[in-house]
Structure 1
Amino acid sequence: MPTALGAPVRADFPFFQAHPDAVYLDTGATSQRPAAVLDAEVDFVRSDYAAVHRGSSMATGEATWAFENAREQVAGFVGAGEREIAWAQNATDALNMISLGMADASAGVGDDRFALREGDEIVVTQAEHHANLIPWQRLAAKTGATLRWAPVDESGVWTIDGLRELVSSRTRIIAFAHVSNVTGLIAPVADIVAIAREFGALTVLDACQSVPHMPVDLADLGVDFAVFSSHKMLGPTGIGALYGRAELLDALPPARTGGSMITVVSMEQADFLPAPHRFEAGTQPVSQAVGFGAAAAYLQGLGMDEVFRHEHEIASALVEAVESVPGVRLIGPAAGQPRAALASFLVDGVHAHDVGQFLDDRGITVRTGHHCAQPLHRALGTAASTRASAGVYSSADDVEALRVALGDVRGFFGADR
């Protein structure tokens, strides 16, 4: 049964009014924004713009209310308390805030529960986005800890059994993506949280590719920390969210220091505010936060169960489309296995960048390259792949356009001879 999403909601998005024939299958990189989000940000800047949390004027109060209301909207959207969402520049920045805070704790600054020592271990997967790999590489290098990873198979998929084998009493952190940005694999979060708790490890969830596409309740999932970005969930660029259980955020050393995140400062030391403001040094992206909140409200209005149902249908259609074309190899879970609404693939005899250019000439926007996941692609024996990723505005017609165009790629480049 078709959902009420896809083509019916395209009218909400000015991009599709400007480009009515566009086949936009690059939502995994950056989503389009509905008019409600654009209007919320513009209306705030035009009518309510002022410094937040600074001063006692009416203008400051109104701007601060809008800023904190956005936090409440985003927190409610992911099942978090208002004190459990801190603003960041993006999800990458939020992951660095966690790792840098732990590095400070390891150096003797702040709460010792976040300190890592030589012999401790950090566990990730070989499929991680660089944003959820490099910060942990750096933390291991700074502290003497060891970085370990669950390997992927020939399809780019890791298993819970492979991860479980790595976890021991030495494991301090398990960091993993809820949904892989390359394979679309949906991680068994509850199983990983249970393993982490058994050994007293902290869990860090990269939720960039899940929060916009399925119901996500971070408190119910039980993770200790999570990150996600506004620009992947119909919102503005330049802002993301760091989630942490309140007692952990209150104890984690802030990675950035300065104005607005302190209580008392002397020439010798500074005391920091409780979460979330202890992580928000300096002038914040206020209008972007308002837009982020509006994006959460828009998705809430669509209904995340409906979003997930719609994108489940699109995911199945993407897999069928890619696997129906001779000479095209699907990456990630096979047909019939759970995956998010994205499909990365390789075309025999044609470089991914050439595939992308060909599709673009047909009016189909996709992503090409290593998708910030070089170790995964190296394990697949390739430097790059092509990725089609869907959103609430994607339709069966978009997938059919991709299928037809893919069928012509190898012939165009003479790779079918």
Structure 2
Amino acid sequence: MSRIAILEDSSSLRMLLSEILKKRGYAVTTYESLKDAELLFGDPPDLLISDIRLTDGNGIDFVERMQEALGGEAPPVLLLSALGSEEDMLRGFDAGADEYLTKPVSMGELLAKCSLLLARKKKAAAAQPGAGTKLPGGNLAFGRYRIERPLGTGSFGAVYVAHDIETDTPVALKVLHALRGSELQHRQRFLRESYTLSLVKSRHVVRLIDFGEQEGRLYAALEFVQGPTLSKTISRFGPMGDDELLALLTATAEALEAIGKQGLVHRDIKPDNVILRDGNPADPVLIDFGLAKSSGDRMLTEVGTLLGTPAFMSPEQISARDLDSRTDQFSLGLTVRFAATGETAFPKLGGVQLLAALSTRPVEFPANLGPVLRRCLTRMTRIQPERRYSSVRALLRDLSSPIDPVACG
């Protein structure tokens, strides 16, 4: 019997959720406050349903602490909120939440999401070493990796911290679930990411060490980068100052230049996909190349398919047009804006309204932003691609130029 924990300070809603879930055969424990819910760290449930705004704190902070404490053993999380703001959603997903519901809660939707999350957890657990389906190679996964601990799991695959016995270094070992590995679309994306990374050489792009397939399981060993994501850093410490922002933008732009030299477009630049090595804004590492694609290549994307993360997408992504390096420029501009403000460009909008705003409304930047940053970020985020920098090299020149505007191709 699956056990579901409910963290909700409204006694009436807490009781209602408990009764409905119990009738569906779940074991349910309820908690009124964050203090009470601390018990879950020692006895994690199979699923956590948590309100965001509680009388003694924030549910997102609790989820983040649970993720840090339990790692791959943390339960899936379904967040509840009366506001349903995009900022809450993004912060919740960054903290480790899996699904989100707005109040008043649709009980049918709640039950469906609970069933889905528990099914995903079961599949993910089956793919972990020592929990059903073992990785090929026994004690040495794929013949060279000694698994140390799970780093994260999802419906598509699992990531482990492992030790590479050939190089005597820690790696992040990504393994596609057996079920997903048999599906053409997911195989293509996994192999495309691995092949893409094999082409790019830059300190600011996560390094691919090895990839392949064994006994039907696709895997990729990546450099294990110690440090938090940009999103998590801003959530924890707040917006960055000009010097940090300039260093962050310059180094990440260098990563984009390295990608561009291979004719590639990342297509999903966002705070969650930038790791700050040892927490240093001047040493970012770009990750997750699952959506990366050669400029003009239509082979793996159907016409009209929307790919990327909405709050950080370029207008041309939204309209599913041909993409080049200028789309990554736009997304990087929005990412650095997030680091400068702690919020997305249009935090009060979501869905179609958000996409419309990104396609038609100029991006605004805080008044206290330095002139070089303001000039460069404004140009990077212009709606028309032809009005942005013609190349990342032009952007890098402008970043190091005097305050007065210059013509940069």
TM over 0.5: no
Q: Shorter-chain TM-score: what band?
A: under 0.3
Q: TM-score, normalised by structure 1?
A: 0.26
Structure scoring higher RCO (CA < 8 A, sep ≥ 6) equals 1
Q: TM-score, normalised by structure 2?
A: 0.26
